[in-house]
Structure formats: structure tokens, C-alpha cells
Amino acid sequence: MPGLQAAVVPVTPFQQNCALIWDSDTKRGVVIDPGGDVPRIMETLDKLGVTVESILLTHGHVDHAAGAAALKEALTKDGVAPPIVGPDVRDKFLLDGLGEQGAAFGIAGARAVTPDRFLVEGDTVKIGGADFSVLHCPGHTPGHVVFFNADARFAVVGDVLFRGSVGRTDFPYGDTKALIESIRVKLFPLGDDVSFICGHGPGSTLGTERESNPFVRG
């Protein structure tokens, strides 16, 4: 990505990809989906020398959002804290219940969080000085969002799409039809050359998944 760098910190027992993205010149950037293991995230930020301008959330599941409140506190200096931004307000019920989710899945320290700003389709967020478009991609959760930068041909897709798989929809609020539509109507038209970081496992390109992912090819 021209001007941008990225690193992934696996967090929680689910080995969720907490993404750090920053501008290579200014060393200013964001943390996306800090689900837990905040000391590990802070250690990585210190090693990289990155100043965090905001904390972004793709959706409200415990392994993606349960460390956001603690990370915000850890990054607060002289009373100034990076805002927590996203997801869509339709995931508020999940964010409100993060403590219960953590107890159910054995994730210590999981805390409910209220974002400083919810996102909607068509919004933009700054990541390392670059504008990323916000796409509402429901199905895995009702308020899941994706971040996309056209110039870098790069996206952060959370748990919508994986290499060779797609996000789970076997929740009371899951919607398989909506998830597949999100991928085919919102993501694939962005272009085959778009690479992405996903919520778990290795990344891929939209073209590779369009051609070979058994859940969405064709």
C-alpha cells in the first residue's frame, strides 16, 4: 500500500487478526478490532513507534471489540484519548453485551463499549491520513462494516469474507442470504486486484475468492 504499512496482532483464544495500519512517514495510524490482549497490542505499537489516532471496529463480536475500552484507556495521554469508531449502530446490542460474551467464551477482561461514533454506509474514516470508504456488509452481524481504500486497492473485511470461507451466520441474528449478497454486491465489484485483511487467518484478494471460494464463486 503506497504510504501505508500494516501489521497483524493475533488476539484472544480465537486468534483474531487485530490490524494496525499506519502512515510510514508520520507513524500515525489506527488499531482495528482490538478484541483483547491489550498489553500485547500496546507492546507492538511501542515497538513500531505508531501513534494511534483512532480505534476502529468492524463489528460487535467479543474477539473483535472486547478490548476496545481498555485500549482507549491505555492510549489516553493528558486527558486526550483516541475515539472508538464503528461499527454500524445495528451492532449496539452486541457491544452492550460484550461482558456476557466474554464470560461465555472464557475471554478475561471483556468489557462493554460505547463507540464515540457509529458508522453508516457512505461514511469515510481516516487511516494513516488516507480516506477509507465505509461499506455496510451485514449477514455475520447486522451492523458489520468494511473499510476500503480505492487508491491502495486494499480493504479490511472483518468476518465477512475469509480465504476459502465466509463468516458464520449460525447466530439468532445471522443472515446467510444477506452475507452472500454483501460479498457479491458490495465487495466483489471493488475489483479482483483488491487485497484484504480478514478477521481470522491469512488474507487474500477479491479475485482469488471470486474464482475459488466455494461459498461465493460464480
Q: Which residues contact 46 (CB under 8 A, 6 or more apart)?
A: none
- pLDDT score for 217: 82
Domain parsing of the chain, residue ranges: 4-212
The CATH topology of domain 4-212 is Metallo-beta-lactamase; Chain A (3.60.15)
pLDDT at residue 108 above 90? no
Residue 53 to residue 176: CA distance in whole angstroms: 34
Q: Grid coordinates 491502495 are at which residue?
A: 152
63: pLDDT confidence band, cut at 50, 70 and 90?
Answer: very high
Q: pTM score, two decimals?
A: 0.98
Residue 204 to residue 211: CA distance in whole angstroms: 12
Q: What is the DSSP letter of 49?
A: T
> Cell digits for 139?
449477514
Rounded to 5°, angle at Cα 80 from 77 and 81: 90
Residue 126 to residue 63: CA distance in whole angstroms: 23
